[in-house]
C-alpha cells in the first residue's frame, strides 16, 4: 500500500521515463517534488523497491527500473480477520492494488487486514494486509485462514492431530486451538505492511495510548532482564560507580538504556535517517545500532548495559507496538507530557532522579534528532 509521497515519486518516474526513455536521477526527483534531500528520495525509492513497484537499484544515478504496468493488480479486500481470538469475517467488498509478484503463480486471491498479534513471530503484525490464495487444503505448518464453528474465521498455522486439527499461533504467550472440524479458506502467500493511519505522538490521546503500551513493554523487558541476569563484569564495573549498588537497579537501568536506544532507532527511521520496517532479531538490532552510531555516537557506543540481548519475540512485540505511531513530531514538550503521564510521584520518590535523568537524556537526544534532520535534510 503506497503512501501519498511514494505514489507521487512513482508517478513522476513513470512519466519521466516514458517521455525521455530513461529514468530520472535522484536529484531530479528531489527537485521535482521539492524534497529536502537526496537521502529522502533514496528512502522512498527503497520502499518502492521492497514493495515490488520498482526494480533493483544499483549505485548509479539513473539505474531505476520500472516494473511493467500489468504487474500491479487489483484483488478483493474482504475486511478484517483475527490473528488472535476468532471473530466473524467482515465482508467489505473493496479492492486493493498490489504488485503481482506478491501473488502465487496460480489461483484466485484476496486480501484481509489483520487484527491482533498472535502471528508476530511470522512477521505478521496488527494492521498488516495479508494476501491469501483461495484453496481448501493445506499442509502441516502452512499459515491459513480457517473457518471454525460455522461462522468464525481465524488466522493460524495448521497441524493435523489425532481426532482433528491444531491451530497454532506464532506467539508463545497464546495457546493453540484444537478443533475437530474446520474449513480451509485459503493459504497466506505474502504480507503487505501498512503505515497509513499511524498515530502522531504530538496528539495527547495518542500519547496516552502509547504510554500504556510502553508501560507494558517496560514490564516485559524488566521481567526478561531479571530472568537473564547473572553477575557479570559489567555489573561489577557498575557497582563501583554507585553509592548504593543494587541488582534490581542495575536491571532497571539496563532496561531503560535498551528502550532509550529502541525509541531513538524509531525516531531515526521516521525522520528518514535510518531505513527499516521491523526489527526481527538480535543480529538486525546490532546492525541498526552500528548504523545509528554515525548519528548518535555517544548513545550507541558500547556500554556496560550491552550485556543484555533481548529475545526475538520481544523485538517483534516492540515492532508491532511502535509501528502504530509516527515519531516524526517528537519534541521536548511531548517528552515532558510522556514523563508526567508515565512516571507517578510515588515512583519518582522511590527511584530518586533516575527516571528524570533518563527522560531528560531522551528528550535532549530527540531534540538533537530534530536539529540533525534540519541541518542535513
- The total number of residues shown for the chain amounts to 377
The alpha carbons of the chain give a radius of gyration, in whole angstroms, of: 23
User: Would you say the C-alpha torsion 92, 89, 82, 188 has a positive or negative sign?
Assistant: negative
List of residues 6+ apart from 324 with CB closer than 8 A: 126, 127, 198, 199, 213
Which cell goes with 341?
A: 503521564
CA distance linking residue 176 with residue 131, whole number of Å: 23
Residue tagged 479486500 (cell numbers): 77
The answer to whether residue 337 is catalytic is no
**Residue of 47, 115, 156, 271 marked active site:** 156
- Say what angle helices 204-228 and 247-270 make with each other, to 10 degrees: 130
255 touches 263 (CB < 8 A)? no
Q: What is the DSSP letter of 88?
A: P
What backbone phi and psi angles, to 5 degrees, belong to 195?
-110, 5
The answer to whether residue 118 is catalytic is yes
Number of neighbours of residue 301 by Cβ within 10 angstroms: 10
**Residue of 23, 118, 190, 194 marked active site:** 118
User: Would you say the C-alpha torsion 337, 343, 346, 352 has a positive or negative sign?
Assistant: negative
List of residues 6+ apart from 260 with CB closer than 8 A: 299, 358, 361, 362, 365
> Beta partners for 159?
166
CA distance linking residue 76 with residue 94, whole number of Å: 6
309 touches 289 (CB < 8 A)? no
Q: Which residues are catalytic?
A: 118, 156
Amino acid at each position: 500500500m503506497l503512501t501519498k509521497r511514494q505514489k507521487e515519486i512513482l508517478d513522476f518516474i513513470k512519466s519521466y521515463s516514458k517521455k525521455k526513455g530513461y529514468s530520472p536521477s535522484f536529484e531530479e526527483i528531489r527537485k521535482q517534488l521539492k524534497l529536502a534531500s537526496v537521502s529522502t528520495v533514496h528512502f522512498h525509492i527503497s520502499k518502492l523497491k521492497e514493495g515490488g513497484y520498482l526494480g533493483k537499484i544499483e549505485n548509479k544515478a539513473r539505474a531505476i527500473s520500472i516494473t511493467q504496468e500489468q504487474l500491479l493488480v487489483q484483488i478483493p479486500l474482504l475486511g478484517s480477520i483475527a490473528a488472535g481470538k476468532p471473530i466473524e469475517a467482515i465482508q467489505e467488498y473493496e479492492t486493493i492494488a498490489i504488485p503481482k509478484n506478491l501473488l502465487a503463480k496460480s489461483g484466485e486471491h484476496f486480501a484481509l487486514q489483520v487484527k491482533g498479534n498472535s502471528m508476530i513471530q511470522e512477521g505478521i503484525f496488527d494492521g498488516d494486509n495479508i494476501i491469501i490464495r483461495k484453496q481448501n487444503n493445506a499442509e502441516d505448518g502452512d499459515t491459513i485462514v480457517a473457518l471454525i464453528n460455522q461462522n468464525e474465521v481465524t488466522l493460524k498455522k495448521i497441524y493435523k492431530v489425532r481426532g482433528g486439527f491444531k491451530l497454532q499461533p506464532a506467539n508463545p504467550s497464546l495457546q493453540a486451538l484444537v478443533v475437530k472440524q474446520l474449513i480451509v479458506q485459503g493459504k497466506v502467500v505474502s504480507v503487505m505492511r501498512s503505515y497509513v493511519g499511524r498515530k502522531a505522538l504530538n496528539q495527547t490521546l495518542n500519547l496516552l495510548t502509547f504510554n500504556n503500551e510502553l508501560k507494558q513493554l517496560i514490564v516485559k523487558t524488566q521481567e526478561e532482564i531479571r530472568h537473564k541476569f547473572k553477575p557479570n563484569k559489567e555489573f561489577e564495573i557498575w557497582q563501583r560507580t554507585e553509592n548504593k549498588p543494587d541488582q534490581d537497579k542495575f536491571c532497571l537501568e539496563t532496561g531503560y538504556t535498551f528502550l532509550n536506544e529502541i525509541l531513538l532507532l524509531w525516531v531515526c527511521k521516521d525522520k528518514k535517517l535510518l531505513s527499516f520496517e521491523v526489527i526481527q532479531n538480535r543480529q538486525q538490532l546490532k546492525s541498526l545500532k552500528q548504523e545509528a552510531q554515525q548519528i548518535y555516537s555517544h548513545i550507541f557506543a558500547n556500554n556496560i548495559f550491552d550485556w543484555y540481548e533481548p529475545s526475538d519475540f520481544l523485538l517483534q512485540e516492540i515492532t508491532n507496538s511502535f509501528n502504530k505511531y509516527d515519531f516524526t513530531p517528537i519534541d521536548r514538550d511531548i517528552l515532558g507530557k510522556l514523563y508526567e503521564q508515565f512516571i507517578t510521584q510515588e515512583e519518582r520518590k522511590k527511584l530518586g532522579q533516575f527516571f528524570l535523568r533518563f527522560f531528560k537524556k531522551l528528550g535532549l537526544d530527540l531534540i538533537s534528532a530534530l536539529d540533525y534532520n534540519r541541518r542535513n535534510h
